[in-house]
């Protein structure tokens, strides 16, 4: 962690016009420099320190700044500085920056790119926003089957400095189709005269450019890859996606799932950067929906008003009942959503999962039924009819809650919807209504009301 005193020392040096001191105390790593710049109090100070960064580190530092600060800095740099930075940025980082800018600003900056970089930028931006194509970089090492190991290594030494990674090279045929992959380790330890066609691994794990980013994340996790080639529908290699880009995607998807589970519309910005009114809208939307749904519980209770008047003690245990049912439903839903995310659970497993959760619900329900029965006895004395009614209702509610919690996320996936939409508050609301209905129906039967 960077020391806050270093940030203060830099700001003091700027105010005191001791500029040579700033160069002396700046850290060496671009990540640390970017961290310091983002902590400075004013945009003027940020721009000033950025201009003190050595030329060979400037782009690396720029790529590590938060997107909002990158955009702000581009608005204050002169055209030549902007041109140099944008042309030197890696295509995937540049695309991420363009995605968050107004269209008019993107057009202006694209015009500053060289013809080749402009072609690459436009090609990537033409892919759907959530596709793997938006993450690719064309900076990969390509080899051909006619090369031998010695010439391949010479080629890597020649072009490797400008590539995203040299640890894996991709073998293309005369039509630029991907036919194999070779690791740097394999090239180094192989006979120098051995042909690439004999060294390469032909069963290449790849992903289509139009595939969803989440699919690429799952492939990375399943095969434990550091880099993933991206092809078009004809198997032509378009570029590669590196692990660090997929980590960002994984973080975004996890954050979005957490927001959905908490019944919050996805917020595209960090919490501290989102506007007050934006947070009001994002958080109130689902709360309004839940209020409307939850109002059905009052309608159910109203229909059993006469029952409650005859046996007031029934209302004493209602909060415990619906809370227990909601918790049980949440347990099932979270486990199933997690299983769907990691692909341990498939849509075809619907009946198997529901049956398993039903058995678990019955078993847990029996335990909680006994707990509920004892709870009523301790509070109301030996009112056996009431005790049994509460116990059976609690057990039944838990069993049904487990089934609902397991079934709904799988059904959402079946209809190509995000299982995380089955949020905690939503599933709790559904189970509240079901639990109250079960409770009073059992009470009507056992208490002869």
Tens of pLDDT, residue by residue over 55-90, are 888 888 998 888 888 888 888 888 888 898 999 888
Instruction: Give the residue numbers spanning the domain of 221.
Output: 141-243
Q: Virtual CA dihedral for 254, 260, 264, 268, nearest 10 degrees?
A: 40
**Number of structural domains, the chain?**
3
Torsion of CA 192, 196, 201, 207, to 10 degrees: 130
Identify whether residues 157 and 90 lie together within a single domain: no
Query: Which of 27-41, 180-194, 286-300 shows the lowest per-residue confidence on average (mean pLDDT)?
Result: 286-300
Give the integer Cα–Cα distance in Å for 142 and 139: 9
Query: Is pLDDT of 295 > 70?
Result: yes
Q: What is the mean pLDDT of residues 111-136?
A: 91
Q: Are residues 96 and 149 in the same domain?
A: no
**pLDDT tops 90 at residue 395:** no
Average pLDDT over residues 377-383: 72
Q: What mean pLDDT, rounded, does the chain reach? A: 83
Find out whether 45 and 11 touch, Cβ atoms under 8 Å: yes
pLDDT at 258: 67
Task: Flag whether 135 is in a domain.
Answer: no
Same domain, 121 and 184: no
- Residue of higher predicted confidence among 430 and 372: 430
Kindly state whether residue 249 falls inside one of the protein's structural domains: no
Does 266 fall in a domain?
A: no
Q: Mean of the pLDDT values across residues 47-62?
A: 87
Residues 25 and 158 in one domain: no
Q: Tokens 């299983």 — which residue?
A: 339
11 domain residue, yes or no: yes
Is the Cβ–Cβ distance between 85 and 52 less than 8 Å? Answer: no
CATH assignment of the domain containing 419: 1.10.357.20
Give the lowest-confidence range in 139-143, 369-373, 408-412, 423-427: 423-427
Distances (CA, A) of 183 to 129, 168, 223, 278, 420: 31, 4, 15, 48, 38
Based on the domain organization, do 283 and 368 belong to the same domain? yes
Q: Are residues 433 and 289 in the same domain?
A: yes
Residue 168 has pLDDT above 90, yes or no: yes
Please tell me whether residues 327 and 418 are part of one structural domain.
yes
**Which is higher by pLDDT, 287 or 47?**
47
pLDDT exceeds cutoff 70 at 262? no
pLDDT at 449 over 60: no
What is the pLDDT, as a whole number, of residue 276?
76
Domain boundary among 127, 156, 178: 127
Q: Check which CATH number belongs to the domain holding 218 and give it.
A: 3.10.580.10
Which one is predicted more confidently, 266 or 25? 25
259 within a domain of the structure (yes/no): no
Establish if 256 belongs to a structural domain.
Answer: no
14, 34, 242 from 224: Cα distances, Å: 47, 30, 12
How confident is the model over 266-272, as a mean pLDDT? 65
pLDDT band at 114 (very low <50, low <70, confident <90, very high): very high
pLDDT over threshold 80, residue 234: yes
**Domain check: are 441 and 418 in the same one?**
yes
Q: Judge if 434 and 307 occupy the same domain.
A: yes
Q: Is the pLDDT of residue 1 over 60?
A: no
pTM passes above 0.85: no
Domain identity same for 234 and 288: no
CATH number of residue 98's parent domain: 1.25.60.10
Do residues 302 and 384 both lie within one domain?
yes
425 and 376 in a common domain? yes
Decide if 172 is inside a domain: yes
Decide if 84 is inside a domain: yes
């Amino acid at each position: 962690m960077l020391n806050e005193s270093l940030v203060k020392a830099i700001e003091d040096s700027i105010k005191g016009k001791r500029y040579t001191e700033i160069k002396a105390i700046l850290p060496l790593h671009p990540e640390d420099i970017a961290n310091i710049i983002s902590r400075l109090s004013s945009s003027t100070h940020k721009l000033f320190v950025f201009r003190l960064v050595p030329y060979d580190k400037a782009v690396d530092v720029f790529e590590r700044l938060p997107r909002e600060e990158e955009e702000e800095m581009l608005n204050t740099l002169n055209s030549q500085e902007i041109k140099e930075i944008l042309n030197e940025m890696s295509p995937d980082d540049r695309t991420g920056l363009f995605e968050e800018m107004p269209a008019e600003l993107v057009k202006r900056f694209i015009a500053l790119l060289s013809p080749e970089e402009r072609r690459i930028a436009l090609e990537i931006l033409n892919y759907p926003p959530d596709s793997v194509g938006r993450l690719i970089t064309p900076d990969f090492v390509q080899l051909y089957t006619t090369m031998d190991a010695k010439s391949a290594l010479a080629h890597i030494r020649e072009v490797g400095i400008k590539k995203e990674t040299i640890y894996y090279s991709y073998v293309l045929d005369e039509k630029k189709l991907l036919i194999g992959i070779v690791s740097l380790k394999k090239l180094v330890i192989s006979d120098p005269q051995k042909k690439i066609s004999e060294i390469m691994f032909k069963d290449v794990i790849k992903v289509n450019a139009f595939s969803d980013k989440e699919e690429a994340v799952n492939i990375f996790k399943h095969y434990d890859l550091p880099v993933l080639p991206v092809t078009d529908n004809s198997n032509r290699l378009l570029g590669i996606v590196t692990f660090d880009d997929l980590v960002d995607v994984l973080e975004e998807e996890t954050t979005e799932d957490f927001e959905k589970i908490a019944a919050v519309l996805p917020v595209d910005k960090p919490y501290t950067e989102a506007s007050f009114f934006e947070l009001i809208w994002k958080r109130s939307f689902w709360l309004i929906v839940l209020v409307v749904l939850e109002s059905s519980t009052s309608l159910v209770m109203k229909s059993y008003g006469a029952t409650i008047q005859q046996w007031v003690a029934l209302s004493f245990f209602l909060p415990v009942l619906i809370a227990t049912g909601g918790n049980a439903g949440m347990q099932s839903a979270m486990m199933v959503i997690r299983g769907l995310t990691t692909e341990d659970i498939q849509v075809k497993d619907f009946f198997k999962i529901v049956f398993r959760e039903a058995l678990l619900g019955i078993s847990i329900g029996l335990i909680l039924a006994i707990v509920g029965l004892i709870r009523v006895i301790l509070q109301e004395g030996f009112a056996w009819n009431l005790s049994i009614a509460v116990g059976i209702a609690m057990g039944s509610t838990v069993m049904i809650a487990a089934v609902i919690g397991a079934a709904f996320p799988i059904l959402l996936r079946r209809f190509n919807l995000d299982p995380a939409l089955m949020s905690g508050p939503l599933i709790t609301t559904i189970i509240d209504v079901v639990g109250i209905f079960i409770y009073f129906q059992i009470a009507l039967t056992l208490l002869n009301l």
